[in-house]
Chains A and B, each alone.
Chain A
Amino acid sequence: MEAEVQSAAELAGWTGPASTGAGGQEVLHVTRDRYLEVVGALRDNGFAMCSDLCAVDYLRHLERPLPEGVAPERFEIVVNLLSLERHQRIRVRVQVPEGDPVVPTLFNLYPGTENMEREAFDLFGVRFAGHPDHTRILMPEDWEGHPLRKDYSVGRVPVQFKEAPGPR
């Protein structure tokens, strides 16, 4: 059976950069303009469910190792697709530049990404062009900034001890 498993890249006709994640998962590195096309091809070839979509802010690792031909950018959108028939997973990673953090929405391919894209926008500020309800989901509407960005401070609650010496 093992030998018959066709790689997802072949199914989608993707010949561009690919890598393997820990545990042998297949990863496709897709450019922004071919993002919808490749994900659409995967969906038409059995990847019926989008199990996860999230963003990563690589601010502190702008020079990270990536397969040849992929220019690293600050943000990455990571999409995990699942094929129910073939019991197979595939991950699609898209580089999103800081200056223009916009990617097309997957809503028309997988309506289940609606909440996930709203979350990625809310926490990272990556915009999804064409999303039907592009609002914050976890943070309040009037929140400033995007908390999961690496340049967003964690903040601390100062702890005051009774016997502590005063500020120097």
Chain B
Amino acid sequence: MTDEELTAETSEGPQELQERDQTTPVELGIEEGSSLRLPEALLGDHGDIDVEFGADETMIINMGPQHPSTHGVLRIMLELEGETVLRSKPVIGYLHTGMEKTGEQLTYVQGATNVTRMDYLSPLHNELVFSLAVEALLGIDIPPRATWIRMLMAELNRISSHTMWMATNGLDLASSSMMIYGFREREMVLSFLEKTTGLRMNHDYIRPGGVAADLPDGWEDDVMAIVETIPGRVDEYDELLTGQPIFKERTEGVGLISPELATALSVTGPILRASGVEWDLRRAMPYLAYDEVDFDVIVGTVGDTYDRYAVRINEIRESCRIVRQCVEKMPPGDYRAQDKKVTPPPRARIDESMEALIHHFKIFTRGFEVPPGEVYTAIESPRGELGCYLVADGSNKPYRMHIRAPSFANLQALPPLLRGGLIADAVAIISSVDPVLGEVDR
């Protein structure tokens, strides 16, 4: 294929939302009908919105990519008639750094360092799904302590992610005290993660074969301090926001989504649960040891912004419950699989054994080979189903590493959620979807 052909083939026209007079009637029908871009079969009634606007009666404005309420570099193009949103389209890609391509250049040992940077609010979940995929291909089992440490860390990370969401959501709805409180609680969790992994974010802690290090001395006290403080603080949030008339006014009945639409749009996580679908991978398809702990799946009834808020705030409480059980049930033993080919030998062994030194050197320079195969693993991240599709070809690097980012799919719910609402509600709705642009763009 020549360069010209390639250019001609790949220039596919603009990604932006087009003006009405430049949009074909069929496209406009799809967009108007359902909100945005639903096939005819799923179209609701078109009745409640006037399709007959002229191009000069409406206005297309950009929200973002530099808007503070878009949680990063999300750009949303809104077609407005007065203050009402008629159509909208998220435009993404501003943070695209080719992490899937990078993943193909890194060994399996280095891979966790790469994926952890995708969803920067829940890095441990990214590492976890990658490690689970590699372990499934390798066919190795990890010791029970490693499993429980992973679960403990994942749930702590869920707490920090959700409190961070409480903070930014508070800020978006003009409750700046909520922002300060949310960051305070998040920092508490992050300081424990820092103590354990060495870093506040981008930990590279969960690795294929187990975890990087054992929990630090006195970890029980630190963790218990967290789970004894957070529920009390969550009660304070409840007092501050849950019953507050202004907050309810801004969120109740805003941004409705039906369970059928959410399922059809591949929406997962708190948004799906808020619409009334009881679907949590921790319960439905348990991984790690989630079938051995006791927790409730929080489900909403209406599917509005308020429900999504309620689901998340209660998930903080449930995560605290799981963390408590992890502390009680934490088994003794090894924190990583003792497989010479996959995990490095203990530091002390390197001084006395030439073979251990060789294995250590091999693992950190060349990595390990993974037998050919393909696997899709999925876990429940704070934002929904986080999946990893891994193709191995027998070398020390993944042949293809694809991350199914929950925010990427969840963004598709924005146009139906925004349609027909006020532009002021758009801020509340975008916040309630909780997109993390790092994983949207990868």
Contact = CB atoms under 8 A, between A and B. Distances in A.
A122 to B, nearest CB: 8
B74 to A, nearest CB: 13
B101 A52 contact: no
Contact of B12 (A56, A123, A136): A136
Interface stretch (A31-39, A146-154, A160-168): A146-154
A138 B96 contact: yes
Interface in B242-299: 263-268, 277, 279, 284-285
A119 B101 CA distance: 13
B contact patch SS: mixed
B22 interface: no
A21 B374 contact: yes
A78 B39 contact: no
A contact patch SS: loop
Given A52-B389, A135-B14, A112 B266 contact: yes
A132 interface: yes
Task: Determine the interface band of chain B, counting residues with CB < 8 A from chain A.
Answer: 35 or more
B412 interface: yes
B284 A132 contact: no
Contacts of A2: none
Nearest to B14: A141
Contact of A23 (B42, B136, B264, B277): B136
A27 B441 CA distance: 28
A25 interface: yes
Interface in A82-114: 82, 84, 87, 89, 91, 107-108, 110-114
A43 to B, nearest CB: 10
A20 B420 CA distance: 46
B37 A133 contact: yes
A44 to B, nearest CB: 12
A95 to B, nearest CB: 14
B348 interface: no
B38 A144 contact: no
Interface stretch (B192-200, B306-314, B400-408): B400-408
A9 interface: no
Contacts of B373: 21-22
B411 to A, nearest CB: 7
B139 interface: yes
Contact of A138 (B9, B279, B400, B441): B441
B110 interface: no
A78 B375 CA distance: 11
A138 B92 contact: yes
A121 B12 CA distance: 10
A114 B409 CA distance: 9
A74 interface: no
B41 interface: yes
B3 A138 contact: no
Contact of B10 (A89, A91, A144): A144
A107 B39 contact: yes
A113 B42 CA distance: 14
Contact of A144 (B6, B376, B411, B442): B6
A57 B13 CA distance: 24
Given A22-B375, A147-B98, 15 more contacts: A51-B266, A57-B400, A61-B399, A82-B385, A84-B279, A89-B378, A112-B264, A115-B408, A115-B411, A132-B30, A137-B15, A138-B441, A139-B93, A144-B3, A148-B98
6 tightest Cβ-Cβ pairs between the two chains A and B: A112-B266, A22-B375, A52-B404, A108-B39, A23-B136, A138-B93
Interface of A: 21-23, 25, 27, 48-52, 54, 56-57, 60-61, 64-65, 78, 80, 82, 84, 87, 89, 91, 107-108, 110-116, 119, 121, 123, 125, 132-148, 154
